[in-house]
């Protein structure tokens, strides 16, 4: 696991840096690939699911992708799989337009806590993209801290990270989607979860602390069975998954559903 830092403040000229806990693409190519997969204007047909496997570049697990796809298809979903090289800022910007009913984010993530020079506080989860950081790109969103710098280690290369404000400002909503965020600390704070819910998602499931890749893969596979094949509510599916597998053996993290009553 990478060493983590907790920034406490930053100036407007200093970009937020988040160090990854858990576990180059061409945006135009990624967008074209998504457009060929379908249009968000199509309301007919079976429900749709997406597996966003940003982690495939650093901790690949093709077996998880096959198992998750099989469970989703067994439950009646058509499945789109996005490997890590497609997971860019443009990808996240376009994702809501495809009206997925289930989105599984197999992604590096970490909690960000900071206070800027205007006194604005940040306590949220940042999702990694695989797009290398550039000071010249997305300047408005960088200034608003909707996009931040993320690294896998203190000395690692910088990439763009998706903060809660980015989710708040997407042009379309998530329209009842169930969000499964497999990365670390996805519900150590609920700011990012709330952003997805405010943009129309039905539920958001993630971990309350750091989690190993092997455990989140195993738990998510079990979770999909309870959630989609047995038709349990998110809270009940999480409870059954934790009863079956238990917390992460190394970090003790547990799955949590948001909102709690779902």
DSSP letter for each residue of 181-210: E-STTTTTSSHHHHHHHHTT-SEEEEESS-
Q: Is residue 16 over pLDDT 70?
A: no
d(C-alpha 128, C-alpha 114), whole Å:
18
Per-residue pLDDT band for 152 (boundaries 50, 70, 90) equals: very high
pLDDT of residue 168: 95
pTM of the model: 0.84
pLDDT of residue 18: 54
> pLDDT per residue over 31-65, tens digit each?
444 454 544 444 578 999 999 999 999 999 999 99
Q: Is residue 124 assigned to a domain? A: yes
Q: Is residue 8 assigned to a domain? A: no
Domain extent, residue 130, equals 17-39+49-258
Q: Is there a cis peptide before residue 259, judged by omega within 30 degrees of 0?
A: yes
Q: Is residue 146 assigned to a domain? A: yes
Q: Is residue 64 assigned to a domain? A: yes
What's the rounded mean pLDDT across residues 189-194?
Answer: 95
CATH number at residue 234: 3.40.50
d(C-alpha 10, C-alpha 191), whole Å:
19
pLDDT of residue 1: 40
Q: Is residue 4 assigned to a domain? A: no
Per-residue pLDDT band for 113 (boundaries 50, 70, 90) equals: confident
What's the rounded mean pLDDT across residues 131-158?
Answer: 95
d(C-alpha 136, C-alpha 133), whole Å:
9
């Amino acid at each position: 696991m990478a060493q983590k830092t907790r920034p406490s403040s930053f100036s407007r000229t200093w970009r937020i840096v988040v160090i990854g806990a858990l576990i180059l693409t061409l945006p135009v190519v990624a967008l074209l690939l998504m457009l060929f997969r379908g249009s968000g204007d199509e309301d007919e047909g079976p429900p749709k699911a997406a597996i966003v496997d940003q982690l495939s570049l650093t901790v690949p697990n093709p077996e998880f992708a096959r198992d998750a796809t099989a469970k989703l298809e067994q439950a009646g979903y058509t499945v789109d799989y996005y490997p890590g090289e497609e997971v860019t800022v443009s990808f996240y910007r376009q994702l809501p337009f495809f009206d997925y009913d289930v989105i599984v984010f197999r992604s590096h993530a970490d909690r960000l806590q900071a206070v800027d020079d205007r006194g604005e506080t940040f306590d949220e989860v940042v999702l990694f993209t695989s797009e290398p950081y550039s000071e010249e790109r997305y300047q408005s969103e960088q200034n608003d801290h909707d996009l931040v710098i993320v690294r896998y280690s203190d000395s690692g290369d910088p990439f763009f990270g998706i903060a809660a404000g980015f989710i708040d400002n997407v042009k379309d909503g998530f329209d009842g989607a169930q969000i499964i965020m497999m990365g670390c600390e996805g519900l150590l704070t609920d700011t990012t979860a709330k952003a997805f819910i405010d943009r129309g998602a039905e539920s958001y499931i993630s971990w309350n602390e750091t989690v190993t890749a092997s455990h989140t893969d195993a738990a998510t596979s079990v979770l999909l069975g309870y959630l989609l094949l047995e038709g349990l509510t998110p809270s009940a599916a999480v409870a059954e998954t934790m009863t079956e597998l238990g917390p992460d053996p190394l970090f003790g993290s547990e799955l949590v559903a948001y909102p709690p009553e779902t």
